[in-house]
Amino acid sequence: MDKTFRIKRFAPEKDNASRWEDFSVELGPHERLLDGLVRIKEFTDGSLTFRRSCAHGMCGSCAMKINGRSRLACQTLADDMPELVIFEPLPAFPVIKDLVVDMEPFFEKIRSVMPYLVNDEPLPGRERPQSPEEMEKILDSIRCILCACCTSSCPVYWGDKQYLGPAALVKAARFVLDSRDRGGKARLDLVSGAHGAARCHSIYNCVEACPRDIDVTRHIAILKRQTLKRGLRGAR
């Protein structure tokens, strides 16, 4: 079927401001929007710039704003979209070129929440035991592919670029909820500041945007609750 791809473009060396350009693309019913972008780049306009790698929703490269929503171009089928498909770079991050944005601010937030297992207890000779029920608590958060669909859709993040944002909070919750982790207090301190979990107004944009269907706000709520619990205990 024929589609019109309307793409917001910006060439840093040529354009003072972004501009729109239309391409018409023929796509089979099972084809992904990413296939269309690749076809334009390979056969029509090689300068069209976007990130991609795995092409099946596992690497997080191809997040962009498509018809008003942050999503993965490789996980959206041509069939499910109207004739006119509008592509813009992910909101809330500085644009580098066309659909490519600067991801450093995003990864910096992820790095700031102690995103690793903390446990200094003596190591057993074999694996540390963890029951399936304990494992189940982190099952949702370990699926994150760091695509930034959530953070780029968060109105609080739009207004406050120091806000940790949903993805970093999910990452923090992944460790807070891991029965093997002992970093609890220090990590909760990191997410309980003025730009931490408390900033979230539970507007749910992030949940809607997540291509992995992660219940983002549930993780933020857990962080809020645990911070609060610790606060109360501390006051006694």
Site residues, ligand FES (CB under 6 A): 52-55, 57-62, 72, 74
Q: Which does 203 bind (CB under 5 to 8 A by kind): another protein, ligand FES, ligand SF4, none?
A: ligand SF4
Closer to ligand FES by Cβ: residue 78 or 200: 78
Closer to another protein by Cβ: residue 11 or 228: 11
Q: Does 61 bind another protein (CB under 8 A)?
A: yes
Q: Which stretch binds another protein (CB under 8 A): 83-91, 94-102, 158-166, 215-223?
A: 94-102
Tokens of 69: 């929503």
Window 157 to 216, contacts with ligand SF4 (CB under 6 A): 166-167, 170, 200-206, 209-210, 212, 214, 216
Q: Does 122 bind another protein (CB under 8 A)?
A: no
Closer to another protein by Cβ: residue 92 or 146: 146
Q: How far apart are CA 45 and CA 23, in angstroms?
A: 9
Q: At what angle do helices 165-176 and 216-235 cross, to 10 degrees?
A: 60
Q: Does 108 bind another protein (CB under 8 A)?
A: no
**CA-angle at 167, arms to 178 and 207, nearest 5°:** 100
Closer to ligand SF4 by Cβ: residue 25 or 60: 60
Q: Does 61 bind ligand SF4 (CB under 6 A)?
A: no
Sole binder of another protein in the list 126, 234, 235, 236 (CB under 8 A): 126
Q: Which does 116 bind (CB under 5 to 8 A by kind): ligand SF4, another protein, ligand FES, none?
A: another protein
Contact positions toward another protein, by CB under 8 A?
A: 11-14, 30, 32, 38, 41-43, 45-47, 49-61, 75, 77, 96-97, 100, 103, 107, 111, 115-117, 123, 125-132, 134-135, 138-139, 142-146, 178, 180-181
